Every structure is written in structure tokens, then in C-alpha cells.
Structure 1
Amino acid sequence: MALKIFIMRHGETEWSVSGKHTGRVDIPLTENGEREARQLGKRLASTTFDHVLVSPLQRARQTCDLADCGARAETEPDLIEWNNGDYEGQTHTDIFKKRPDWNLFRDGCPHGESPADISARADRLIKRLVTLDGNVALFSHSHFGRVLGVRWIGLPVQAGQHFILNTASLSVLCYQHENVAAPAIESWNNHGSYGE
């Protein structure tokens, strides 16, 4: 069976609403985030997953559970969000006061992960994913999901700044015409049912 990778970003958190950079801090979903996760589960109901991998952070695990995928989920440390280091909990406005030209995908975070670090992590995960068959569900985060998407199609990390992932969104990576030499993005940042 051909490999198809479903990337689900976790539901809303207090920090996603406020615009704070949320990397390794382990915060839960809001009530709205829980509703988003249950709605995501309804959108996934017609899809059978051969593998379910989830970030160790609770916002991703809650989303996975509420989307009715938690019973088969395996924790995958490489799905954790970008380590924001000194910028954890800060907004873009806070950071731009000190570094007006800062760009996460180009500059990384002081005392956190660099673009090279997160690229290597995404590439390591892709190396594992390509050994799998069938439908693979990944419950992860915004910035790491964006990096995973661009690395899947061979683009540099910096291209991730152009691929937005909203809360409880669904994106699908595949091979064009099932050709492993032609990785592709079938769907990105979708909030409808799969296939819409």
C-alpha cells in the first residue's frame, strides 16, 4: 500500500491565541482547542490509519486522543515542536523590539534549535517514515509540521515560512503517481474533510 502521511497540528492553546511562541512548554488545549480536536476526529473518521505517531507534548497527545486516534498512538520524540530557547513564550512583537529583522526559519532561536538542527530532525523522521506503508497519522505542531512539509519535497527549512499551519489543520504528504522519486504535497492546512 502506498505511503500517505497525514500531518495534524494540535488544537488551540492559550498561547496560540495570544501569539506566544510555544515550543517545549507543555501546555494543554483550551476548551475551543478540545472542540477543534473532536472536529478533526470527525474529519478523519473515514480514514483508516496503519500507523499513528504523536509528539510527547500534551497539546498534541490531547488532540490525538480527542480525534479518536490515541488508542494506537506511539510517541515519537522527533515530532516535538521547534525548541524556541530564549524566545519561548515571547510574541513576534517582543522579539522584533530586540531583533527587527528576525526570522525563525532563517535564524532559529538563541539557546534553542537552529534551522540546521530542525532540518536534521525532520530528515531523520522522514528517513523513518519512508520505511512505512499505508496511511500514517502524525500529531505535531505548527513550526515542526511546516519544516517536515518542506523537507519532504526537498526544499530548505527557510521555505517553511511560506507554509502556514493553523490549529487542528490537516495536511497530506504523498508520492506523485506513487513514485518514491517524486514526493509531493497533496493537501495543506485543510479544515474540511479529507479529500474535499
Structure 2
Amino acid sequence: MNANASEDSTSQAEIWLIRHGETEWSLSRQHTGRTDIPLTEHGRAQAQMLAPILAQEHFDLVLTSPMSRAIETCRLAGLGDHAEVERELREWDYGIYEGRTTPEIRESAPGWSVWESPIPEGESIGEIEGRARALVQRLAASPGRIALFSHAHFLRVFAGCWIGDSAALGAHLLLDTATISILGFERENRAIRQWNVRHPDIK
């Protein structure tokens, strides 16, 4: 997988976003923030399929969320030996909604949306936007190719902040397990180069 204009080294930051493989809760669509859910057997197989794609690239920096599902995905994808744990890559804190699906939450909070509604005892959209924007600013100033192993909502927020300084833009960016997305530049403008790309054998 090559980002077309991508070269072995980049004069501007090029950031590869890798969502972790399948877990039991991602399969059931339960909100998984700070609960350390392991990969399923299928999730581990998904992560292994990423290895030949990532092996074709040189990464100047590899960062992973501290959650085991991200760390294991990074390891099985072949980049574990080069990875540093980055606390800011952890998933959204869903507070009282941890472990619940959106339909379940809407039984008591009609119309609830993680993008628009309060999250009691958790992280507001402003708070997650703040940590994503700080990470964007830091990494955008780091020339080279960077791999981030993280989680669906955080990576969607990060991408929204990359292209428009807005976490809310992430609502429009679907992201499946064990996928690769690439952020970069079009001249001086931060842009999405590829999004939600999966290995053709990953189901």
C-alpha cells in the first residue's frame, strides 16, 4: 500500500493512523474507552495481515495507545520493537456509558450522540479535541512518516482536527477495525490522503 506520492522519506509529516483489530466489544459495538479489552482471535489475525503492508514503509516514529488492544495490534503488525507508548492516543473516556451501545444509551437518553451529547463522568468533546489538537500540532511539526496505533473515536477526532481543527468533523469519518488511513499535506494544507483502507483479505 503506497500513498501514491509518498516517498521513502518525507519533508513534511505523513501520519499513518492504524485502528486496532477486532475485540469482543468492537464486534458488539459497545463503547470501549478505558476498559482494557483484548483482541479476539480474529482481531489478532487482522493485525498480522497489516504486517506486509507496513513492512514496505520506513517509519521515523511509531506511537501506540497504552491499551493492550493497540499495543498488541502494533506488535502483530510488525512495529512493536520500534513503538513508544503515547498516553494521548488513548480512547475517548465514555464515563457512565462505558460498555454500552448507542441504542442502549438512547433508551434513557433519547437522541444521544457521542459527538453532540453530554458524557457524565467522562470526557467532553471539547476535552478530547484539546488533546487531539495538541498532538496534531506536535506531530505536524515533525517531518517524516509516523505510525499511530489507536482507537476508532480518537483517530476520527484526530483526523477531524488535522483537516479542520474540529473534533466534530470526525462524525463524518467511519473507521473499521484493522484499517490504515493516511494524513499528510497538499502543499501547505493538511489533508487526508487515504481513509479506512483495509487489506483485501481482512473481513
TM-score (norm 1): 0.94
Match of 1:187 in 2: 194
Partner Cα distance (1:108, 1:166) in 2: 25
Partner Cα distance (1:12, 1:19) in 2: 11
1:30 aligns with 2:40: yes
1:114 to 118, 124, 127: 124
2:179 to 169, 172, 176: 169
Match of 1:52 in 2: 62
2:28 to 10, 13, 18: 18
Match of 1:77 in 2: 87
> Moved runs in structure 1, 4+ residues, more than 2 A?
none
Amino acid at match of 1:113: E
Match of 2:19 in 1: 9
Secondary structure, counterpart of 1:8 in structure 2: strand
Task: State the shift of 1:27 in Å.
Answer: 1.1
Match of 1:132 in 2: 142
Match of 1:101 in 2: 111
TM-score (norm 2): 0.91
Secondary structure, counterpart of 1:171 in structure 2: strand
Amino acid at match of 1:156: S
| Unmatched 5+ stretches in structure 1 | none
Partner Cα distance (1:93, 1:107) in 2: 14
Amino acid at match of 1:88: E
Task: State the shift of 1:19 in Å.
Answer: 1.1
Which deviates more from structure 2 when the two are superposed, residues 67-76 or residues 102-111?
A: 102-111
Partner Cα distance (1:165, 1:106) in 2: 19
Match of 2:7 in 1: none
Partner Cα distance (1:3, 1:155) in 2: 17
Contact 2:49 2:199 in 1 (8 A): no
Which deviates more from structure 2 when the two are superposed, residues 36-45 or residues 74-83?
A: 36-45
Secondary structure, counterpart of 1:175 in structure 2: strand
| Unmatched 5+ stretches in structure 2 | 1-10
| Percent identity (aligned) | 45
In the superposition, relative to structure 1, how do residues 118 and 108 fare at CA in structure 2: closer, same or farther (>3 Å)? farther
Equivalent pairs counted in the alignment come to 190
Task: State the shift of 1:156 in Å.
Answer: 2.2
In the superposition, relative to structure 1, how do residues 64 and 108 fare at CA in structure 2: closer, same or farther (>3 Å)? farther
Task: State the shift of 1:155 in Å.
Answer: 4.6
